[in-house]
Structures are given as C-alpha cells and as structure tokens.
Amino acid sequence: MADLHKEIEKRRTFAIISHPDAGKTTLTEKFLLYGGAINLAGSVKGKATARHAVSDWMEIEKQRGISVTSSVLQFEYDGFCINILDTPGHQDFSEDTYRTLMAADSAVMVIDGSKGVEAQTRKLFKVCVMRHIPIFTFINKMDRDSNDPFDLLDEIEKELGIATCPINWPIGSGKNFKGVYDRNTKKVMTFSDTLKGTKEGEEKEFALDSEELLTEIGEDYKEQLEEEIELLDGASAEFDMDLVSKGQLSPVFFGSALTNFGVETFLQHFLQMTTSPLPRVSDKGEIDPFSEDFSAFVFKIQANMNKAHRDRIAFMRICSGQFKAGMEVFHVQGNKQLKLSQPQQLMAQERKIVEEAYAGDIIGVFDPGIFSIGDTLTTAKEKFAFEGIPTFAPEHFARVRQLDTMKRKQFVKGISQIAQEGAIQIFQEYNTGMEEIIVGVVGVLQFDVLKFRLENEYNVEIRLENLPYEHIRWIENKDIDLDHLSGTSDMKKIKDLKGNPLLLFVNAWSVGMTLDRNEGLVLSEFGTN
Ligand code: GDP
C-alpha cells in the first residue's frame, strides 16, 4: 500500500508538442540522457537518423519528416518516473494530439526562438490550450539568432490566448548568446558552446550584481539585461501556481536543446511545478489515482506498427491503482471481463513487456479489435466509465473509389480499421451500404496517410475524389423524418457506421437555413466516441 502510494506519487506524465524542426526530438533525447535511458554515444552515433530513431514509426513519416503517430517514452530522473508522450508535429493531426493530451497531465510546448508560433502549429497549440492542463514553454535554439524575447512572449499570448511568465531570461542570442538569467535566484548562468552538445559545457553561475558577471558578459549586455529585467518585473504576469495548473499561465524557459543549455534546469523546474497524476472524471464522480483499484482508458489505437507482426495496439493511460501482467480487468464498454495481453511499454528505443505499471503510466496492449477510443477498463467492484474523448468535426470530405473491385474485402477491412483508430471518419450514402464510402478528415494530410496505408498495409489502391463539403452536423433528434427534411440544395444526407444520420453542407449559411426551415431540428457539431 505504501509502495503503491510512493510509486504513483513519483510519476509525471506530460505530452511534448512542437512545430516540426523546433527541436522536440533533440529536447526529448537530452531528457533521456539525464535519465540515463540512452547513452551519449548512442545518441551521437544515431545523429543522422535521430529524427526517426526514437519515436517515429511509419514509413510516411520518414519520407516527409513529419511525425504522424505519437509514442510514449519512460525514464527515471532524480527520484521521479517520467512519461513523455510524443505528438505529431503537424496541425493536420491535431485531433490525434488532442487525444494524446487527454492522457497527459501537462504539456511542454517547444518553440523555435527564430520562428515563434508558426502557422502550421497554431492549431496544435490551441488544442493544447483547450485541454486546460498546465503548459510549459521551452523557447529553443537560443544559440541561433532569435526574435526579440518580448515579441516572442507577445506572440504566444496573442496567438494562444494564454498569459506567460518567464522563469528565466536570455541574454543575447546566436553568436552573442551569453546565457540566461534566473528570475528567482537572480543569478546568471553563462553559456559556453558545447560544440553541438558533443563537449561538456562549462556553465558558470554569477550573481547579477557581481563584478565577475560584468567581466564575463561585458557592460553593454549587462546594462541591457538590467533594463529588460526591470521591464519584465513591471510588465509580465506574476508567477501564480494556481493559474499554471489551470492552464491559464505558461511558465516560459529559454535554452538550447542541441547544445544542452538550460535543459536540465528546465526539467528540474518542470518537475517541481507539476503534480503527480491527477484524479480523472467518470460518470460516478472523480476517480482517485491512489485508489487500489486499477482503472485506465484507451486514448489511442494504432495498427500495424510492427510490419512483421501486423499487430494492433491499444494505448491506455492508467488512471488509478496498479497494473500487473496477466491481471483480469473489466472492459466497461464491452461489458466483459478480460485479460490484457502482451502489455508493453517503450523504454527509449525498445519496446518491452511490462510486469507492472502505475497510475500515470501508459501501456500498450494487444488489441484483437475489441477496443475503441475512450473505453474504460477497471478492477473496481462498482463499475464506472471515464468521460469520453470528443471527436473533432471533419472539415474535408472525399469519396473513396477502390481501383481493383476484386479486393473489396481487404478494402472494407482496411478502411474500417483505420477509422477505428480514429485517423479518419467514414460515412456512407444515406440510402446505400458500404459500396459508397465517404471519408471525412480534420486535416488534408490524413487523406495521404489513408491512401498510403491502404496501399502499404492492405495492398489496396484507391482514388480519392474531393467533395466540396466543409461542415458536418449530427442530427440530435432521434425521431426525425429524414426523407421529408427540407434542406438547402448544397446539403447531403449521409450516415455514420452506427447508422446515425448526418448532414453535410458546403457553407455555414446553409446550416442556418436548414435549421430555419425545419422547426425543432437539433444539429450538433460533435459526435462522441
Ligand atoms: P523536431 O522536428 O521538433 O523533433 O526537431 P529536431 O529535434 O529533430 O531538430 C531539428 C533540427 O534542429 C535538427 O537539425 C537539430 O539538430 C536542430 N536543433 C535542435 N535544437 C537546436 C538548438 O538548440 N540549437 C540549434 N542550433 N539547433 C538545434
């Protein structure tokens, strides 16, 4: 019992999000380095392939250099057990990022100091704010010429609607990067080039008012720093832990992941400012993570991660208690007792079978096709279900045409499985069966993934025919007579796989028009899993 408490208490589970190339992989690798999970030699040797080494699985990711799926890494540091959830780096996969954020207790946002909040990432970061969990900002690549730090903060506040509170402050950037000033200890840590992290850095610490600092960074920089500190103290939001935990204030750190500068300080502060696993809401109230009963929910399903095995893994976040290999759990949505088979966890580059895991941890279990996203598993006597994970309304639609009609079975299997993973949503014509399939996605890149995966994993070629619809509405009224619905000319009736009726519209105006013409009609933008 005491052990259970201790194990859960030391867990920290966070998601890491960034624009591609901002330095997420590099930062993650440095974290792992501190945790001793990978050795320096390994990471240097793997440099050329580092982008894909740790967490990228799919071929398409290698080809495009974007991360499509997300994965989980665990390491120990300073008595903590840390779970990092990697997320896709493109906003077309923001729904996947949102699901991953559901499994995290906080998020780290990596921003390239020379680029700021980039267009491609805006939506991703907004998704992060939607989840109302603590968001920590790491402004990376300070060893390169960066934007003005005040402008960077301004941009984060404006773009994301979240206040910022710098914990440290950079002195110069690029060739003139001198180090960072810690606003709490009032000390400056000076930067020395570690030759891209291959050499041990000589970080020195100086008090702000010391003579040594003046000699070290020079008068101009010291003056500028003092001015900026004054400005900061007057202008920026005060640190308020309560606002941080509600996701309304983001602590900001400056550093350089590649040269390993400011990474460990960041990790240390981060660990102090985040909590152990938080209670989760279920239909029977909050579930205490320290409860002895095991509970978890599925947040991600990923098929064919391992080409040799063609397996399908359901990732679940443990919300309470302890998991033990071979243990029997109740699958609430399936209304069935079952044994979780082949539970696995990712340690740095390897997958390994886990014997035990605790609240806060993520495990992947072999899924014979029974799990759906949002499902609850528990050993508690009184059954409950965790709050569902909302699905995003697709914004792009296409009709799918199969090129070789002889492969009908593979096609239906493939597209259904990919839809079950939540990578796409599939619909049918209102009056027909599976012969006409309409696919809806949140971001257009998901179409490419669908096409690629059907070809590579199911050996089925398809052609996608874009449809002009941009708005989808679920019909809430169960008793509606669809045949007599008076819609607009651009409206299309479809149904989802469960047979629920939906409407597609080309423009928002038609949605309002249709509501006006049909008294009592209730339309909703969201379906639930
Ligand atoms: P990701 O796409 O966000 O995972 O980005 P990576 O970690 O793969 O980094 C993208 C590129 O930026 C790589 O070439 C890194 O070596 C480089 N990089 C990462 N961090 C830094 C940094 O702090 N300074 C500099 N100069 N380059 C960096």
DSSP, res 422: T
Instruction: Please give the C-alpha separations between residue 17 and each of 27, 135, 273, 447, 508, in angstroms, as whole numbers.
Output: 11, 10, 18, 22, 31
- Best residue among 177, 195, 258 to mutate for probing ligand 1's pocket (most ligand atoms within 8 Å of CB) is 258
Q: CA-to-CA distance for 529 and 521, rounded, in angstroms?
A: 22
User: For the segment 132-168, what is each residue's pLDDT rounded down to a tens digit?
Assistant: 899 999 999 999 999 999 999 999 999 888 999 999 9
Query: Measured in angstroms, how far is the CA atom of residue 258 from the centroid of ligand 1?
Result: 6
What average pLDDT does this structure show over 266-274?
94
> What pLDDT score does 126 carry?
82
> What pLDDT score does 198 carry?
56
> What pLDDT score does 2 carry?
64
> Over 80: is that where the pLDDT of 344 sits?
no
Among protein residues, the one whose CA lies closest to atom 10 of ligand 1 = 21
Query: Measured in angstroms, how far is the CA atom of residue 50 from the centroid of ligand 1?
Result: 10
Taking the CB of residue 376, how many other CB atoms lie within 10 A of it?
26
Percent of the chain with pLDDT over 70: 86
- Look at 468 and 482; give whichever has higher pLDDT: 468
Query: In terms of Cα–Cα distance, which of 264, 275, 107 is closest to 182?
Result: 264
Chain CA centroid to CA 268, Å: 22
Query: Measured in angstroms, how far is the CA atom of residue 224 from the centroid of ligand 1?
Result: 28
DSSP, res 484: G
| Vertex 360: Cα angle to 357 and 365 (nearest 5) | 50
Q: Please, where are the H alpha helices in 310-444?
A: 408-420
DSSP string, 156-219: HHHHH--EEEESEEEE--GGG--EEEETTTTEEEEP---TTTTS----EEEETT-HHHHHHH-H
Radius of gyration of the chain, Cα coordinates, nearest whole angstrom: 25
- Mean pLDDT comparison of 52-61, 83-92, 226-235, 305-314, highest-scoring range: 226-235
> Over 90: is that where the pLDDT of 347 sits?
no
What does DSSP say about strands 471-475 and 501-505: parallel, antiparallel, or unpaired? antiparallel
Query: Residue 199, CB half-sphere, CA atoms under 13 Å: how many?
Result: 9
Q: What is the 3-state secondary structure (H, E, C) of 233-284?
A: HHHCCCCCHHHHHCCCEEEEEECECCCCECHHHHHHHHHHHCCCCCCEEEEC
> What pLDDT score does 50 carry?
39
Q: Please, where are the H alpha helices in 354-407?
A: none
What does DSSP say about strands 135-140 and 106-112: parallel, antiparallel, or unpaired? parallel
> Over 50: is that where the pLDDT of 56 sits?
no
> What pLDDT score does 237 carry?
79
What does DSSP say about strands 106-112 and 11-18: parallel, antiparallel, or unpaired? parallel
- Best residue among 16, 26, 70 to mutate for probing ligand 1's pocket (most ligand atoms within 8 Å of CB) is 26
- Look at 309 and 146; give whichever has higher pLDDT: 146
> Over 90: is that where the pLDDT of 71 sits?
no
Per-chain mean pLDDT for the chain: 84
DSSP-based three-state secondary structure for 361: coil
Q: How many residues does the chain have?
A: 529
Query: Measured in angstroms, how far is the CA atom of residue 443 from the centroid of ligand 1?
Result: 25
Query: Measured in angstroms, how far is the CA atom of residue 328 from the centroid of ligand 1?
Result: 44
> What pLDDT score does 64 carry?
45
Residues with CB under 6 A from ligand 1: 18, 20-26, 51, 89, 140-141, 143-144, 256-259
- Mean pLDDT comparison of 58-67, 146-155, 356-365, highest-scoring range: 146-155
Q: CB burial class (10 A; 0-12, 13-18, 19+) of residue 241?
A: exposed
List, as residue ranges, the binding site. 18-25, 86-90, 140-143
Q: CA-to-CA distance for 392 and 424, rounded, in angstroms?
A: 10
Q: Which atom of ligand 1 is nearest to the CA of 50?
A: 8
Q: CA-to-CA distance for 108 and 134, rounded, in angstroms?
A: 9
This complex has an ipTM of: 0.99
Query: Residue 174, CB half-sphere, CA atoms under 13 Å: how many?
Result: 6
DSSP-based three-state secondary structure for 112: strand
Amino acid letter at 218? G
Q: CA-to-CA distance for 428 and 266, rounded, in angstroms?
A: 49
Chain CA centroid to CA 189, Å: 31
Q: CA-to-CA distance for 314 and 343, rounded, in angstroms?
A: 10
Backbone angles phi, psi at 161, to 5 degrees: 65, 35
List, as residue ranges, the binding site for GTP. 18-25, 86-90, 140-143
> What pLDDT score does 359 carry?
97
Q: Which domains does the chain have, with CATH numbers?
A: 14-67+106-273 (3.40.50.300), 280-378 (2.40.30.10), 390-528 (3.30.70.3280)
Q: Which atom of ligand 1 is nearest to the CA of 261?
A: 23
Split at pLDDT 50, 70, 90, the class of 484 is: confident
- Look at 112 and 221; give whichever has higher pLDDT: 112
What average pLDDT does this structure show over 203-225?
87
> What pLDDT score does 348 carry?
41
Query: Measured in angstroms, how far is the CA atom of residue 259 from the centroid of ligand 1?
Result: 10
Q: CA-to-CA distance for 486 and 490, rounded, in angstroms?
A: 12
> What pLDDT score does 112 carry?
96
- Best residue among 21, 43, 121 to mutate for probing ligand 1's pocket (most ligand atoms within 8 Å of CB) is 21
> What pLDDT score does 345 carry?
61
Amino acid letter at 310? R
Among protein residues, the one whose CA lies closest to atom 2 of ligand 1 = 21
Q: CA-to-CA distance for 187 and 168, rounded, in angstroms?
A: 10
> What pLDDT score does 416 carry?
87
> What pLDDT score does 332 carry?
96
Query: Measured in angstroms, how far is the CA atom of residue 112 from the centroid of ligand 1?
Result: 9
Instruction: Please give the C-alpha separations between residue 281 and each of 277, 351, 376, 387, in angstroms, as whole numbers.
Output: 13, 30, 12, 6
What does DSSP say about strands 187-190 and 204-207: parallel, antiparallel, or unpaired? antiparallel
> What pLDDT score does 96 carry?
84
Among protein residues, the one whose CA lies closest to atom 19 of ligand 1 = 23
> Over 70: is that where the pLDDT of 209 sits?
yes
- Mean pLDDT comparison of 39-53, 273-287, 362-376, highest-scoring range: 273-287
User: For the segment 237-262, what is each residue's pLDDT rounded down to a tens digit?
Assistant: 789 999 999 999 999 999 999 988 99
> Over 50: is that where the pLDDT of 41 sits?
no
> Over 80: is that where the pLDDT of 350 sits?
no
- Look at 193 and 118; give whichever has higher pLDDT: 118
What average pLDDT does this structure show over 315-344?
89
144 contact partners, CB below 8 Å, separation of at least 6 = 113, 114, 173, 174
> What pLDDT score does 342 carry?
64
What average pLDDT does this structure show over 199-210?
76
401: left (phi over 0), alpha (psi -120 to 50) or beta: beta
Q: CA-to-CA distance for 394 and 443, rounded, in angstroms?
A: 8
- Look at 376 and 69; give whichever has higher pLDDT: 376
User: For the segment 165-191, what is each residue's pLDDT rounded down to a tens digit?
Assistant: 999 999 999 999 999 999 989 999 988
Cβ-contact 337, 330 below 8 angstroms: yes
Query: Measured in angstroms, how far is the CA atom of residue 22 from the centroid of ligand 1?
Result: 6
> What pLDDT score does 134 carry?
94
Q: Which atom of ligand 1 is nearest to the CA of 51?
A: 8
Q: Which atom of ligand 1 is nearest to the CA of 65?
A: 2
Q: CA-to-CA distance for 358 and 349, rounded, in angstroms?
A: 21
User: For the segment 87-135, what is each residue's pLDDT rounded down to a tens digit?
Assistant: 877 777 788 888 899 999 999 999 999 999 987 778 778 888 888 899 9
> What pLDDT score does 354 carry?
76
Q: CA-to-CA distance for 423 and 300, rounded, in angstroms?
A: 10
